[in-house]
Amino acid sequence: MKFIDLINEEEYRTPEQQREIKKAKTLFKALHNGVVKIKHPFHDGDIILRYQIHDNVSYRWETHGQKDYITIITNNTSGEGITIQTDSEWAMRKYEMDSDSVFSEHMKHSVSSSIRRKFINFGVNVHINQGGFKFVLDKPEQEPINEVSEEFVNKKIQKGKAIYKLLKTGLIGSKAETDEPMFRYELSDDPSISYRDDLGLTIFVSRVKVIQLNRSAVTASIGRIQSKINERFKRFDITLSYPTLTSDDVETNIIEEM
């Protein structure tokens, strides 16, 4: 496996690689904080944790054979890589009792795996250095009923913009899954993003264009096509809203099926 530091190797950046770097940085902006759910190590049940990856990350190419992809690497200095927040006093005491215990190692490994899955879904890897972990007890103050701070809403809107930029176009399906619809979609350039405490993040667009790439996509219902596009945004707890697709929004360009 070959590693190339993107920061120190500017001349290595081809146009395609520059697009991949931009994609990785946009993805980091969208996913650098969030919530993960991990299995409890001692009994049935889950532990809910909030995470924040600090901005001092590096980007590297990993080359396997003929395929290159980007890995985001977190800082390995104690407390400088990633902060994990929990409102469980029991979990915090258990972790502090022995930072090298089975419990703490389980927490680090499970959190790292959960976060990595979020990134790998979009073709970007993330390596979370174990030395950079910091666990803190955090009981967020209760927001007044029906009142959300302007700062909170602005952060949500910025998250929505980053994710929209990432998911504005995409490919759903693959040649290997001939029974599943394979198509490209393109969202319009005029998103309107709003946040309400009772509805969460909603992105409104005026049009969605679909290009059918296999016969399963041609025979699939409009509802099924729309649901597959919507699912991409649902992963980030975002509702995508747009007019129902019509024949004017759909093109067919069937590629050769193996």
Residue-wise pLDDT for 68-79, tens only, equals 778 899 988 887
Q: Which tokens hold the place of 157? A: 């809107």
Query: pTM above 0.75?
Result: no
Q: How confident is the model at residue 27 (pLDDT cuts 50, 70, 90)?
A: confident
Q: How confident is the model at residue 37 (pLDDT cuts 50, 70, 90)?
A: confident
CA nearest to 133, candidates 167, 107, 172: 107
Based on the number of CB atoms within 10 Å of its own CB, is 181 exposed (0-12), middle (13-18) or buried (19 or more)? buried
pLDDT the model gives residue 229: 93
Over residues 174-203, mean pLDDT: 87
Provide the percentage of residues in the chain whose pLDDT is more than 70.
Answer: 85
Structure confidence at residue 23 as a pLDDT band (50, 70, 90): confident
3-state secondary structure the chain: CEEEECCCCHHHCCHHHHHHHHHHHHHHHHHCEEEEEEECCCCCCEEEEEEEECCCCEEEEEEECCEEEEEEECCCCCCCCEEEEECCHHHHHHHHHCCCCHHHHHHHHHHHHHHHHHHHCCCCEEECCHHHEEEEECCCCCCCCCCCCHHHHHHHHHHHHHHHHHHCEEEECCCCCCCCCCEEEEECCCCEEEEECCCEEEEECCCEEEEECCHHHHHCCHHHHHHHHHHHHHCCCEEEECCCCCHHHEEECCCCCC
Once rounded to an integer, what is the mean pLDDT over residues 186-205? 88
Alpha-carbon distance of 242 to 23, in angstroms, equals 24
Q: Poorest-confidence range of 82-86, 109-113, 135-139, 211-215?
A: 135-139
Q: Which two tokens stand for residue 110?
A: 């499970």
Q: Which of 67, 52, 209 minimizes the C-alpha distance to 115?
A: 52
For residue 141, pLDDT over 60 is answered with: no
Q: For residues 230 and 210, give the distance between their C-alpha atoms in angstroms, rounded to a whole number.
A: 13
Ramachandran sector of residue 112 (left: φ over 0; alpha: ψ -120 to 50; beta: rest): alpha
Q: In this structure, what token pair is assigned to residue 245?
A: 């697709």
Mean of pLDDT values over 166-194: 89
Per-residue pLDDT at 65:
67
| Segment 107-135, tens digit of pLDDT | 888 889 999 988 887 888 899 998 888 88
Q: Residue 186's pLDDT is what?
A: 95
Distance in Å from the first CA to the final CA of the chain? 30
What does pLDDT average to over the chain?
A: 81
Q: Return the bridge partners of 39, or none.
A: 46
Share of the chain above pLDDT 90, in %: 22
